[in-house]
Amino acid sequence: MDSTFFDKHLERRGTGAFKWEAHKNPGPYYTPVPEEDVVPMWIADMDFETAPSIVERMMERVKHPAYGYYLPSAEYFDAIANWHATRYGNPMVKREYILNHTSVLAGVGAAVEAFTLPGENILINQTTYTGFQSTVKNLGRNLVYSPLVKDEKGVWRMNFEEMEKLIVANKISLMIFCSPHNPTGRVWEKWEIENVVNLCGKLGVKIVSDEIWADFVVDPTCKHIPTQSVSDLAKEIVTANYAPSKTFNLAGLQGSYSVTYNKQMRDKIDKIGSTTHSNAVSLLTLEACIGAYTGGAEYVDEMLKYVRKNQELMVDYFNTCEGVSVDLPQGTYVLWVNFDGLCDDVGVIRDKLREVGVITTDGRGFHGKTYLRFNCACPRANCEKAIKAMKKVFKSK
């Protein structure tokens, strides 16, 4: 496999792909997008084919014409454990720690239900992925935000002093920790994760760690460190959520898993899932996960290199634009682009980009008022098309 695999144009129009269809719906803030010029760079799914090992595995299973009730196989659990050992350097994951969920948000939601009561406050860093906001709100809990701040080198950092104050003042017993962080792309360093764990441990706060982006370390000098791997305390107070969905473009199959070492915590999460049987995962999703984790490593390595080149291309372009600033992220396939040199509120920029076909994620939903998020997991030709279109919108320096 080489970069030409990811260069391939995969026609997704007409397949019901949300990324390629949603712009047609006239919503409250609707700006028409010219259909022939459309380059969707918003929702976090990829315009790449998934790994061949996944397709083969699923095809093979489809050939056996019975799709009744099945148990996750030992092969499934072994594939997960082996992926964590070889990709994240954590050989500690065992079959009994793993619970299934229909999605990562469902897993995070189960932890929210297990460890807080309606009306309680939950700590999270800001900016923040929209899904956390809606899930927590829908479950009748409140998010308390601790903003990330840029240090003197322009690196987004957590403000531990403020987090401590917020925990005490708001009687917080659960933190949602996003690692790597969407949308800033931070891949947290070990000392940062240790600080989060020690702070929470000291104040009796449990952590639900969302590591859906664990595979997306695009800066070769960084490494994803599973939150639970930093200490024994972390194993006691953290439940972590993973899925092959982001990494291999499988979100439409619905399926994820959590890892929880602490039995009491795990039993509570399990109870939430078993109550409505939402802990049952689709047969084909299990097959896809095995295909991903046993045969997809080369795909991920090549894909990350490809995505990095896309991000560099886009950042190089933005650096020529007046009023626009962006850094290459350490992780994820997105770019978190700041337009504060052009506006106080990004709506106007978002709309201008839609008018030339480029659809982005509106940063306001993430509490980034002057930001747009660009998804670079697409054939390079799409990035080139977007850049060409954006030249009609932005002035060069």
Helix (H) or strand (E) holding 246: helix 245-248
Pair of tokens at residue 204: 């009796």
Residues 37-76 contacting ligand PLP, CB under 6 A: 44
**HSE value, Cβ hemisphere, 13 Å, CA-based, for 379:** 15
Beta strands in the chain (DSSP E): 39-40, 98-101, 121-126, 142-147, 149-150, 156-157, 174-178, 206-210, 238-242, 256-260, 334-338, 358-359, 361-362, 371-375
Out of 99, 250, 251, 326, name the contact with ligand PLP by CB under 6 A. Answer: 251
Part in contact with ligand PLP (CB under 6 A); list of ranges 199-207, 243-251, 286-294, 306-314: 243-251
Part in contact with ligand PLP (CB under 6 A); list of ranges 68-76, 103-111, 231-239, 389-397: 103-111
Pair of tokens at residue 249: 């473009």
104 contributes a contact to ligand PLP by CB under 6 A: yes
Residues 166 and 131: beta-carbon distance below 8 Å: no
Residues 88 and 224: beta-carbon distance below 8 Å: yes
Closest distance of CB 392 from ligand PLP, Å? 29
As a whole number of angstroms, the distance between CA 69 and CA 83 comes to 26
Residue closer to ligand PLP, measured from CB, 102 or 342: 102
256 contributes a contact to ligand PLP by CB under 6 A: yes
Closest distance of CB 334 from ligand PLP, Å? 9
288 contributes a contact to ligand PLP by CB under 6 A: no
Residue closer to ligand PLP, measured from CB, 239 or 394: 239
Phi and psi for 118 in degrees, rounded to 5? -55, 140
Part in contact with ligand PLP (CB under 6 A); list of ranges 57-65, 101-109, 224-232, 270-278: 101-109
Residues 266-285 contacting ligand PLP, CB under 6 A: none
Residues in contact with ligand PLP by the rule CB under 6 A = 44, 103-105, 129, 131, 178, 182, 210, 212, 243, 245, 251, 256
